[in-house]
Amino acid sequence: MSSTPDSQVSSSVEATLIIVSIVVIVVKVVIVVVICIKRANIGSESGAPDSRFLTLTMDKFLNDMERENPIRFTSQQLRIATDNFTNLLGSGGFGAVYKGIFTNGTIVAVKVLYGNPSKRIEEQFMAEVSTIGRIHHFNLVRLYGFCFERNLRALVYEYMGNGSLDKYLFRENKIIGFSRLHEIAAGTARGIAYLHEECQQRIIHYDIKPGNILLDVNFSPKVADFGLAKLCNRENTHITMTGGRGTPGYAAPELWMPFPITHMCDVYSFGMLLFEIVGRRRNVDDSLPESQEWFPRWVWKKFECGEMGDLMIVCGIEGIDREMAERMFKVALLCVHERPQLRPLMSVVVKMLEGVLEIPIPTNPFQYMMHGIPYPVLPGHTTQTSSFPDSDSSQIPFSRFVPGTPIMTRYEIEIAST
């Protein structure tokens, strides 16, 4: 039987299809074999991937890193974001802070640094950029970026919807309930503990105070302003209580006395902050009777006499909050001890505030200050070192011994160290 032309065509098409299929299968097999050989090579060459693989990995890594690092903005970009710096959020010793919004919807706080480009401002700027920009913690404010131009030096922070804690402690009193205040204290302590004990290089804040504790939309606390953190390494011949280091009322006595300065100065400031948190009042208030004027001393007096109940009544703390308030007062008394080495570490403070660590009975933290007698260690002595070695600590030269008193703190007395 002879085949028709039609059946001849269909069988040749079938043959072609079979050949094409075989070729495709062979090509696939070859590709799989080549890939397997390559993978085997990558594994066998002492773990060294081929250059293409390496480039891809590095690119991804660098991109990820870039997102973690501060971004550099132009002054034009910041002008647009802040609507030409119209919405002022507040101002402090180093600059004014404006609200801004970027086109992607991110709301920011832009801190424009004061003054002409002087060495001091440059140092402050660089210190902030290099420290905060690389640090990420739930209780630390995030630095998104910066601008460094002749006409504008600014820092761009994440925006904190509820502003700073001072507003709630001293002005909008009672908006925040006591247990939230306790959480704010513990969160702040966690942020500082991270700076002191978990960063690769210890960071001393130097300016812990209610204005530097910012609250996000959920009232979670974030410690702000690390601007002073790295200035401890600079030449320091003149320290003023209103200038570079700390704020009167929160600055530890060793900042203006002949003691080595360590991270324990932040513990002192945190203690002062803690008194204000529990008391919802400024530590110094000369509108009150003299015995209550300086709150920390009054707390100590009441604790010493076993009359903490009086404090609770005056502070308006009731019911189950009293136990927690007493705990917080005790921690505050421990933190503000005039001798830095007797203050607890911030990680210990966290545990005491969380209630997982027993709180030792505080001793008089103001023994020397209250009696106006000199502290036991004078310049040149080396016994007054922290119980926690600190590579960041610096011995400040003092030629004049000035005993600390609450009065000095109150009047923001400046102390020349040379």
What is the smallest separation between the CB atom of 225 and Mg ion, expressed in angstroms?
4
Q: Does 212 bind Mg ion (CB under 5 A)?
A: yes
Residue 393, binding choice from ligand ADP, Mg ion, none, Cβ under 5 to 8 Å by partner class: none
Q: Which is nearer to ligand ADP, 203 or 214 (CB)?
A: 214
Q: Which is nearer to ligand ADP, 124 or 212 (CB)?
A: 212
Q: For Mg ion, which residue of 128, 166, 225, 321 counts as binding (CB under 5 A)?
A: 225
Q: Which is nearer to ligand ADP, 227 or 344 (CB)?
A: 227
Question: In Å, how far from its chain's centre is CA 168?
Answer: 20
φ/ψ of residue 350, rounded to 5: -55, -50
CA distances from 194 to 27, 29, 137, 377 (A): 58, 55, 8, 30
Binding mask 90-109 for Mg ion (x = CB under 5 A): --x-----------------
What is the smallest separation between the CB atom of 336 and ligand ADP, expressed in angstroms?
21
Q: How many alpha carbons fall within 13 Å on the CB side of residue 150?
A: 0
What is the smallest separation between the CB atom of 413 and Mg ion, expressed in angstroms?
22
Q: Which is nearer to ligand ADP, 205 or 337 (CB)?
A: 205
| Contacts of Mg ion in 275-294 (CB under 5 A) | none
φ/ψ of residue 269, rounded to 5: -60, -40
Q: Which is nearer to ligand ADP, 164 or 409 (CB)?
A: 164
Active site residue 50: no
The one catalytic residue in 50, 83, 207, 266 is 207
Q: Which is nearer to Mg ion, 92 or 221 (CB)?
A: 92
Residue 257, binding choice from ligand ADP, Mg ion, none, Cβ under 5 to 8 Å by partner class: none
Q: Does 166 bind Mg ion (CB under 5 A)?
A: no
Q: Does 128 bind Mg ion (CB under 5 A)?
A: no
Cα–Cα distance, 231 to 246 (Å, whole number): 12
| Residue nearest to ligand ADP according to CB distances in the complex | 92
DSSP label of 212: G
What is the smallest separation between the CB atom of 161 and ligand ADP, expressed in angstroms?
7
Residue 139, binding choice from Mg ion, ligand ADP, none, Cβ under 5 to 8 Å by partner class: none
What is the smallest separation between the CB atom of 232 and ligand ADP, expressed in angstroms?
18
- Please calculate the CA angle 339-241-299 and round it to the nearest 5 degrees: 50
Here the tokens at position 126 are 């660089």
CA distances from 415 to 255, 263, 339, 405 (A): 10, 21, 20, 13
Residues ≥6 apart with Cβ < 8 Å to 165:
184, 210, 211, 213, 214, 215, 221, 277
Q: What is the DSSP string of 120-177?
A: HHHHHHHHHHHHHTT---TTBPPEEEEEEETTEEEEEEE--TT-BHHIIIIISTTSS-
Cα–Cα distance, 408 to 55 (Å, whole number): 61
Residues of the binding site for ATP: 111
Residues ≥6 apart with Cβ < 8 Å to 224:
141, 157, 160, 164, 212, 213, 214
Residue 283, binding choice from Mg ion, ligand ADP, none, Cβ under 5 to 8 Å by partner class: none
Question: In Å, how far from its chain's centre is CA 111?
Answer: 16
State the number of binding residues for Mg ion (CB under 5 A). 3
Q: Name the residues that contact ligand ADP, by CB under 6 A.
A: 89-93, 95, 97, 109, 111, 141, 157, 159-160, 163-164, 211-212, 214, 224-225
Residue 133, binding choice from ligand ADP, Mg ion, none, Cβ under 5 to 8 Å by partner class: none
The answer to whether the Cα torsion of 216, 221, 222, 228 is positive or negative is positive
The residue ranges that bind Mg ion (CB under 5 A) are 92, 212, 225
Q: Annotated active-site positions, please? A: 207
